[in-house]
Amino acid sequence: YYMVTEPIYSDIEPEVSETVVRRGRVIAQKPRIVTPYYLSQVEGFSLDARRYFEMLSQEQGANMPGLIYTYRNEPGELEIVADNMNSVVEKIQADIDKSGDPLVTIIKGLDELWDVSLMKFIFEITRSSFRDNLMRLKSQGMLDMDSSGVPLEARLRIEELFKKLKNGEIEPRELKEELWRWGLFEEYQDRFFSIFRKK
């Protein structure tokens, strides 16, 4: 992305025509299926948030599937360009058109709230793709629950984490926490510990 803003000092020095350009990447993980029970096991939430998850479990059922999206911002260069915003945007757009990369965009925002502008953009993209993602996952059977109330997608993710752990791509904690959040550690504990006995 290119986040384009007028410098925060432009109100103080209106005769100076400069534009702030921030480059970066947002890494989006594919949406994951979660349940109110799963969310109630995630650490770092307040007591009020846990109560909300419990209320959601009571109203919707502990195993009612939903989607969770995960993003990571990787900020890049920050550059102050001695030109007005419209000219800078036109030049960047020409570069994007030339490169042909469909995943690059220009976002206009406020300098002091540039990250809020980025989050708003991400939210709008997520909202526009939600229905398609939900229908795709449903058609693939990923929202189907097993007899334990665990979505198929979660079981597949657990299998993926086991492979990654065996290959040394993740720390054991990551798999252990995922099993714990689904209430499945006891079911998988022998398999989990056997990985370390083999080493």
Q: Would you say residue 173 has pLDDT above 90?
A: yes
| pLDDT of res. 51 | 82
As for how many domains the chain has, the answer is 2
Q: Would you say residue 24 has pLDDT above 80?
A: yes
Task: Match 């990447």 to its residue by tokens.
Answer: 25
Domain of 126 in residue numbering reads as: 2-31+69-139
| pLDDT of res. 198 | 63
Shared domain for 100 and 14, answered yes or no, is yes
Q: Mean pLDDT throughout 105-109?
A: 95
Shared domain for 88 and 184, answered yes or no, is no
Q: Is residue 14 part of a domain?
A: yes
- CA–CA distance from 69 to each of 5, 92, 196 (Å)? 27, 29, 31
Shared domain for 109 and 135, answered yes or no, is yes
Q: Is residue 110 part of a domain?
A: yes
Q: Is residue 144 part of a domain?
A: no
| pLDDT of res. 18 | 94
| pLDDT of res. 199 | 57
| pLDDT of res. 25 | 94
| Rounded-to-5 percentages of helix, strand, coil across the chain | 55, 20, 30
Q: Is residue 41 part of a domain?
A: no
Average pLDDT over the chain reads 89
> pTM above 0.85?
no
| pLDDT of res. 194 | 92
Q: β-pairing, 19-28 with 32-34?
A: unpaired
pLDDT per position as a tens digit, 52-70 = 878 878 887 777 888 888 8
Shared domain for 126 and 184, answered yes or no, is no
Q: Would you say residue 83 has pLDDT above 90?
A: yes
Domain boundary among 139, 163, 187: 139
| pLDDT of res. 11 | 76
Shared domain for 100 and 12, answered yes or no, is yes
Shared domain for 129 and 158, answered yes or no, is no
